[in-house]
Amino acid sequence: MLVLEDVHTHYGKIEALHGVSVEVKKGEIVSLIGANGAGKTTLLMTVCGNPQASSGRVILEGRDITREPTAQIMRSGIAIVPEGRRIFSGLTVEENLHMGGFFNTKGEIRKSQEHVYELFPRLKERENQRAGTMSGGEQQMLAIGRALMSKPNMIILDEPSLGLAPLVIKQIFEIIGHLREEGITVFLVEQNAHQALNLADRGYVLETGKIRLQDTGKNLLANPDVQNAYLGG
């Protein structure tokens, strides 16, 4: 579904990704773990075309999107929950969701909205509340809900557990597991390696802009190197 082939990405003169190859197959949950500054966000943003890869190819459902503008990529059945949530804090919960379905018809929006409220009953309760006044966990739910509004085939999540309480993190991961059952392909980026790998079919380990390891989620969890570096020994 999504393939990155030997992708290099630069910020000005500095190379942040040194030839990364990743594949996410249809229906999978793939987790990418790595330390702070490894280039995880950069990798995701390269998929979105902001910044664009300086060499290599990004292929989405057989289509080369390496040079496509961000707006066009993001209308191709792919949605992202960006790092730090980035909800529209001045808008209400409902308005946030409607922004997520910006390019859909009114009928479609209503249907996806109901669906999101089923997944996150909390959001329904807060429908008319301004998003910025909600707790971190609720905001993260909103960010995921907003991404789901465009009815994507694939969803990309950038550190959804960042700064959340353990109980909320558990909830979020349950929802992510649920998304797969609905047939949505999930590409998950996390520093929270344990839960991310537990959930994943396959995983990648990114270190300073390079893929160090790739294997099934189970195997990576059992890998002593991974345990030492990312699971606290």
Partner 1 sequence: MAAQNIKHALFCAVITLIISYPILGFNLEAQGINVTIVGANATTIMGVFLAALVVFVFQLFRDSIMGKLGNLSSLSSGTHKEPMAENKRVKIESWVLTGIVVLALFWPFFMSRGAVDLATLVLIYIMLALGLNVVVGLAGLLDLGYVAFYAVGAYTFALLSQYLGVSFWFALPIGALLAATFGLVLGFPVLRLRGDYLAIVTLGFGEIIRILLNNWTSLTGGPNGIGGIPDPTLFGMEFGRRVKGEGNTSFHETFNIAYSGEHKVIFLYLIALVLAVITALVIRRFMRMPVGRAWEALREDEIAARSLGLSRTAVKLSAFTIGAFFAGFAGTVFASKQGFISPESFVFLESAIILAIVVLGGMGSQIGVVLAAIAVTILPELAREFSEYRMLIFGAAMVLMMVWRPQGLMPMRRIHIELKKQE
Give the number of residues in contact with partner 1, rule: CB under 8 A: 29
Which residues 32-91 are close enough to bind partner 1 by CB under 8 A? 48, 50, 69-72, 74-75, 79-80, 82, 86-91
Smallest CA-to-CA distance from 165 within 185, 184, 140 is with: 140
Packing angle of the helix pair 136-148, 166-181 (nearest 10 deg): 10
Interacting residue with ligand ADP among 2, 7, 16, 199 (CB under 6 A): 16
Nearer to Mg ion, 83 or 215 (CB): 83
Burial degree of 32 (CB within 10 A; 0-12, 13-18, 19+) = buried
- Pick one of Mg ion, ligand ADP, partner 1, none as the site partner of residue 105 (Cβ within 5 to 8 A by kind): none
- Pick one of ligand ADP, partner 1, Mg ion, none as the site partner of residue 55 (Cβ within 5 to 8 A by kind): none
Q: Are 132 and 90 in contact (CB under 8 A)?
A: yes
Give 76-103 as a DSSP string.
SSEEEE-TT----TTSBHHHHHHHHTTT
Query: Which helix (H) or strand (E) element contains residue 171?
Result: helix 166-181
CB of 121 to ligand ADP, least distance (A): 31
Packing angle of the helix pair 106-119, 93-100 (nearest 10 deg): 120
Nearer to partner 1, 157 or 197 (CB): 157
At 45, give phi and psi (nearest 5°).
-65, -30
11 near partner 1, rule: CB under 8 A: no
Residue 130 has what DSSP assignment?
Answer: B
Which residues 129-188 are close enough to bind partner 1 by CB under 8 A? 130, 132-133, 146, 150
3-state secondary structure of 163: coil
Which residues 27-46 are close enough to bind ligand ADP by CB under 6 A? 34, 36-42
- Pick one of partner 1, Mg ion, ligand ADP, none as the site partner of residue 165 (Cβ within 5 to 8 A by kind): none
Which chain residues interact with partner 1 by CB under 8 A? 48, 50, 69-72, 74-75, 79-80, 82, 86-91, 95, 98-100, 102-103, 128, 130, 132-133, 146, 150
Which chain residues interact with ligand ADP by CB under 6 A? 11, 16, 34, 36-42
